[in-house]
Structure formats: structure tokens, C-alpha cells
Homo-oligomer: A and B are copies of this chain.
Amino acid sequence: MSVELDGTQRRMLAEMFALLGDPSRLGIVLSCRHQRRSVSDIAEASGLSMSLVSHHLRLLRTAELLKVEREGRYAFYSIADAHVEHMLDDMVDHVLHANGASRALSTQPGGT
């Protein structure tokens, strides 16, 4: 085990991290986790303007983190595939279980 990544893979990974590294965008992605959502839906849920949401969605679409299904005048977004979904589950899981070691401040288990 403990394999290394080549330059291209590192850049791919970094790009993905960077995309997920913006709070607005992470919120958008997480809101599409278990159901597909229209753009206005996402906008309302996240408190962001539809324009801004659309800009972010384009990036997430291009990076193949989200996919879109168009129906009439609506566009429904959801996680691109099982691979991405699994990865997100992992990361969410990690944050939820990050109680002991790494959190120096606010070490309070079971915080809502």
C-alpha cells in the first residue's frame, strides 16, 4: 500500500480540493447529495443569488463533480456519480468523527 500520485493525479486532486474548498460551493455540493435539485432550489437553500449559484454550478459541472438533467425550463443538479458520492460520504464522515485528536478548541462531542 501507500502508493504515490504522479503530477497529473496530484493536480487533479488539488483541483477537486480547491473546488470543494469554497464554503458556498461546498454547501451547493452537499445540498445535492441525496436528491437532485433545481438551481432556484439550491439558491434559496443556500441563500446565494441564482446567478452566483449558476456560476459555481458551471465549475462543478466542468470538474464532473455534479451532473445536470434538463427538463423543460428547469435544470436539476445532482452528484455526478457513485464515486464522487462515496468520496463525499467519506469526508463528511471524517469531519463528524473528528472529535478527539485534531480539534484543539471547542472539543465538545455531539455538537449540532
By a beta-carbon cutoff of 8 Å, the part of chain A in contact with chain B is 1-6, 8-23, 26-27, 30, 33-34, 64, 80-84, 86-87, 89-92, 94-98, 100-104, 111-112
| Residue ID in chain B nearest A18 by CB atoms | B21
**CA gap between A12 and B97 in the complex, in Å:** 13
Q: Is the CB of B26 within 8 A of A13?
A: yes
Q: Is the CB of B12 within 8 A of A95?
A: yes
**CA gap between A54 and B12 in the complex, in Å:** 24
Residues of B within 8 A of A102 (CB): 64, 80-81, 83-84
**CA gap between A10 and B33 in the complex, in Å:** 14
**CA gap between A92 and B17 in the complex, in Å:** 12
Report the minimum CB–CB distance from A33 to chain B (whole Å): 7
Can you report 22 A-B residue pairs in the complex whose CB atoms are below 8 A from each other? A3-B96, A6-B111, A10-B30, A11-B23, A12-B95, A13-B92, A14-B22, A14-B23, A14-B26, A15-B21, A17-B20, A18-B21, A18-B22, A19-B21, A21-B21, A82-B101, A83-B97, A83-B100, A83-B102, A84-B102, A86-B94, A87-B91
